[in-house]
Amino acid sequence: MNWDDASRMFQQIQTATRGDTVLLKLENDLLAQVVRYARIRTDWQLADHDQRREIDGSRIAAHNALIDACNILSRAMSERGKDTEWRAQLGQDRRGIGDFACFVHCILGLSAR
């Protein structure tokens, strides 16, 4: 996963959800999980060994919820005939999905300035 791939995939999501209230809600659900996971991942990086053990359960749960949100949005997009290439490109690798979340989190932060 790199910046260009993540940006392109995020753009594909935004294009596909535009004008569809159901997909927009699911996109917002995904973005909430992106922000939650990226925050926990950052906290984990800054934590010492004991703190990491405390954080691990919530980090794993947040990662699972992020993957679920990706799958739910992709499935709904497919049902509406929208392009789901972003999900195929994202793949199943947990690290890559987590990286995608961190890139999108960064994009959101930069867009808010």
Report how many domains make up the chain: 1
Q: What percent of the chain has pLDDT over 90?
A: 96
pLDDT band at 112 (very low <50, low <70, confident <90, very high): confident
Domain range holding 37?
3-111
* CA neighbor of 31 nearest in space, from 111, 89, 88, 91: 111
Q: What is the pLDDT of residue 113?
A: 82
pLDDT band at 11 (very low <50, low <70, confident <90, very high): very high
pLDDT band at 14 (very low <50, low <70, confident <90, very high): very high
What's 102's domain CATH number?
1.10.287
Mean pLDDT of 41-53: 96
